[in-house]
Chain A
Amino acid sequence: MNLLFFIYASLTLAIILCLTVSTHKTRSARHNPSPRDLYIRQITTLLAHDNDSGERIRARSARSRLALAEAIHLVVSHTYGNQTEELMALVERLRLDRFLMRRIRLCRGSRRAHLLLIMSALPTRHYSSQHFMRYANSSNSDIRNSALLAIMAINPISAIQTIASLQYELSPFDIARILTLLRRGVLPIAYEPLLGNDNRNLRMLGLAIVRTFGIEIAEKRLHNIILSESRHPIISETIYTLASLGRPLHHARIRQCLGQMSECDRRSLCRHLSREGYSLGAVKAIFSQTESRYAETLINSYKRALVRTSASQ
């Protein structure tokens, strides 16, 4: 009995001790300035054409190397049109790419995904897209997507082929992450080959680019997609993209596509159009009488009430 209690008590006390130490570590890390913040300052100075400051950046321990890699990732992902030579020299001098690849091999799950994402921001000469291919086929979607970003960042010229060769459908979140590469200037904002391609992933990415950057001149291509496409999710996404751009929707093919949608989806589109500021006439042109009445109620709710009721002020 006493032995049982002794084992139990030592186990629980060890757990309590571990949790308390972790809590204190988290608290103290929050209060003290992290090495990552210091590195961010040093990297921004380096990028501001102060070439000598690169020599002064030191990272001896594994922890400080990781902090430096994270700092480079943060700076690169929040800036546009950086000179990569200085960063590449820094990465090579401190062998950050090799260090990260070693860590990627050792880690698992979301930690590996995070390291792959950091790797996508590091300029490197030693590693090619082939090194990340094994992670691009992972069953974990986070790892898969981070590896895809790393591959595209290392080899931006073959980005379209890489996406076209994917065996799975990219989720809207995956597409949003690819758009971050476009914002950084790693990939070109070339929506035309994407919209013109029959591949589902490429088309969805093209639509996301048109929507995010508000490319109104893509209207004709969007109508072409609606005319030629047979997959409903892509047609629906295209109609929503046209609505986001505020373009007219009174096309016979759009009316036909709306007829094939479920009632819930049509009502959802009605709400979307009223939010986007479409007039009642524009909505009536594409919807049935019942749905037009529903849309009228929604659109009217954006207009000021002029008739005073007893309950109102």
Chain B
Amino acid sequence: MIAYILIYSLLLLLIAIVLFRTIKIVRAIEHQTLLGDDITGCGESLGFIGCSVVCTSVSDLQQVSRLLGQEYGRYEVIVVLDSSLHAEAFDSLVRHFRMVRVNCTSTQELPSVHIENLYRSRQRSYRRLILVDAPYRSVYDDLNAGVVVASYDHILPIGSSATLRPRAIENLAIILCSSKARNCAWIRSRSSHDCLFLRNAIIDAGGFSCDVLQRCAEGYYTYSPIADHTQTRRVKFSLRTTIICASFTLLLVSSATLDVLVTISILLAAGVAWTSAKYVATIAKETNCSAWDIIYLFRKIVDIFPARKFSVS
């Protein structure tokens, strides 16, 4: 009897946490929408807060164009790509955005960084875009190359599967200037796990690495999502889904010997998490959300203890 009470208490606790996170994320999205409507066109005056989005492993033209579509004044997109590894993608970026090679001398802020060439666009409409040709060693080295080139005080690392949410930068600027987050070394979204870093903090920490969050002084957590992650490493997903399915099958098989009621209870808890993810996905996405979006959000909602390790997806 004690074992059953313990199991049900644990399941109820899990459901309570999932619901708490769901409500927090939904309220954060609604709050963003309300505030965003109020200051339309006032982005220039948000306390000179600027943001440099540093993209690693991004070679898709459409993704870069989408990133350039943010309606915030003080904002730039830095694409770091190895021209020898992705020659075709690099050429297409140079041609499409009419990039020209500009002078590039190291500022010695991060001595380990090696940049081959730097490109800026000739076209005024793409003046926010900077293309960095740097030899690929790791994702963190790519990000460091972007930090050296960045001209704004805040850095937002973005991977190949991420797309910034509408008004994401404006919302981050609002968070930065209206809360205690302004002087924090990083801001991390609890719903999308993206991080915004203070440039100086990264330089002081000696650049990006997997333990950069621990090495930077203090951080700030927000429930507001920053980016939508559309196709997060499908292989990983499939593997995890297979593991979950296998464990449920095992659970069902063993339910005959254990208890059917406990199995149903676990399934009901999973059902609550799934419907929560579906609800958040509906609120967060203006268009119809796919199953992948729901699976992604399901993971983020159930992920009660997020990894302290910093990674980009």
Contact = CB atoms under 8 A, between A and B. Distances in A.
Contacts of A20: 275, 278
Contact of B272 (A15, A77, A180, A303): A15
A173 B48 contact: no
A173 B39 contact: yes
A272 interface: yes
A304 B102 contact: yes
Contacts, number: 157
A272 to B, nearest CB: 7
B295 to A, nearest CB: 16
Given A77-B38, A294-B107, A23 B268 contact: no
A211 interface: yes
Q: Number of contact residues on B: which range applies?
A: 35 or more
Contacts of A27: 282
Interface in B102-155: 102-107, 116-118, 120, 133, 149, 151-153
Given A19-B278, A272-B48, A176 B94 contact: no
Nearest to B269: A12
B102 A4 contact: no
A152 to B, nearest CB: 14
B4 A1 contact: yes
Given A12-B269, A177-B42, A301-B102, A309 B282 contact: no
Interface stretch (B11-19, B187-195, B231-239, B304-312): B11-19
A275 B151 contact: yes
Interface in A259-313: 264, 268, 271-272, 274-275, 294, 297-298, 300-305, 309, 311-313
B100 interface: yes
A129 interface: no
B224 interface: no
Contacts of B252: none
Contact of B178 (A19, A171, A211, A297): A171
A276 to B, nearest CB: 10
Nearest to B276: A19
Given A23-B278, A240-B48, A301-B118, A12 B268 contact: yes
Interface string B40-59: 11111111110000000000
Contacts of B83: 311
A5 B265 contact: yes
A26 interface: yes
Contacts of A313: 94, 101
Contact of A9 (B4, B45, B268): B268
B174 to A, nearest CB: 5
Interface in B175-227: 177-178, 200
Contacts of B152: 271
Given A19-B278, A171-B177, A173-B178, A12 B271 contact: yes
A212 B107 contact: no
Given A176-B45, A302-B120, A23 B282 contact: yes
A172 B104 contact: no
A176 B39 contact: yes
Contacts of B149: 301
Contact of A110 (B31, B105, B264): B31
B250 interface: no
A16 interface: yes
Interface string A14-46: 011001101100110010000000000000000
Contacts of B102: 300-305
Given A77-B38, A211-B45, A309 B276 contact: no
Contacts of B38: 77, 117, 177, 180
B1 interface: yes
A16 B272 contact: yes
Given A212-B45, A312-B101, A177 B120 contact: no
B248 interface: no
B27 interface: yes
The 7 closest A-B pairs by CB, nearest first: A172-B47, A172-B177, A176-B42, A19-B275, A173-B178, A12-B268, A300-B103
9 contacts: A5-B265, A13-B268, A23-B278, A26-B282, A171-B177, A172-B177, A179-B45, A271-B151, A303-B103
Interface of B: 1, 4-5, 8, 11-12, 15, 19, 22, 27, 30-31, 34-35, 37-49, 83, 94, 100-107, 116-118, 120, 133, 149, 151-153, 173-174, 177-178, 200, 261, 264-265, 268-269, 271-272, 275-276, 278-279, 282-283, 286
